[in-house]
Copies of this chain bind each other. A is one copy, B any other.
């Protein structure tokens, strides 16, 4: 089956939109989604940002939240909750999700994290919150502790983030087709899928 790689960051608002709709779209299009959690922090720091661009440029942040409210409503998602603090610290969730990519439960865990973050306002940096989300998808809460110590999984997340940079990624969500085309932003998801199918 033709694959589309979905690169996402748990702190990223627009990644939330894609995570909640990508499987339904891919199913209709006959595509396989490869879920790739990665870290935007190192990339943004290389770009000279100390925090999210949405915090550093006030008008851009104000607009993004309004845009997200409209889009969440349009996609039939719950009313958008603005995480506090924003951005949330996403490292532990990304490490857990990386384990999930090796064990097959990354999609369910990812959706649970985004739901907690942007619909319920929970702290996704909190190990207890993450343990609850794991239990909610039928996984063992001990994965949280494993994510803190499993060096191979830490290295895998780091390697994938370096791979993202090598692919030209500079934001999230991003989508990469088998022939190497890069698409950035939830609003490019349909275009990425059309490209993947034609390839």
Instruction: Please give the residue numbers on chain A whose beta carbons come within 8 Å of chain B beta carbons, in ascending order.
Output: 47-48, 56-57, 59-60, 62-63, 66-67, 70, 74, 165, 168-171, 181-185, 187-188, 191
Contacts and interface: CB of A to CB of B under 8 A. Distances in A.
A62 B165 CA distance: 13
A23 to B, nearest CB: 22
Given A60-B170, A67-B188, 5 more contacts: A47-B60, A48-B56, A63-B168, A70-B191, A74-B191
- Copy count, this protein chain: 2
Contacts of A191: 70, 74
B57 A170 contact: yes
22 contacts: A47-B57, A47-B60, A48-B56, A57-B170, A59-B165, A59-B168, A59-B170, A60-B170, A62-B168, A63-B168, A63-B170, A63-B182, A63-B184, A66-B181, A66-B182, A67-B183, A67-B184, A67-B188, A74-B191, A185-B187, A187-B187, A187-B188
B187 A59 contact: no
A74 B165 CA distance: 27
Contacts of A47: 57, 60
> Most B CB atoms within 10 A — which of A59, A74, A165?
A59
Contacts of A57: 47, 170
What 3 A-B pairs come out closest when comparing CB atoms? A59-B170, A187-B187, A60-B170
A154 B168 CA distance: 41
Contacts of A66: 181-182
A181 to B, nearest CB: 8
A59 B167 CA distance: 9
A47 B59 CA distance: 9
A62 B180 CA distance: 14
Contacts of A56: 48
A57 B44 CA distance: 10
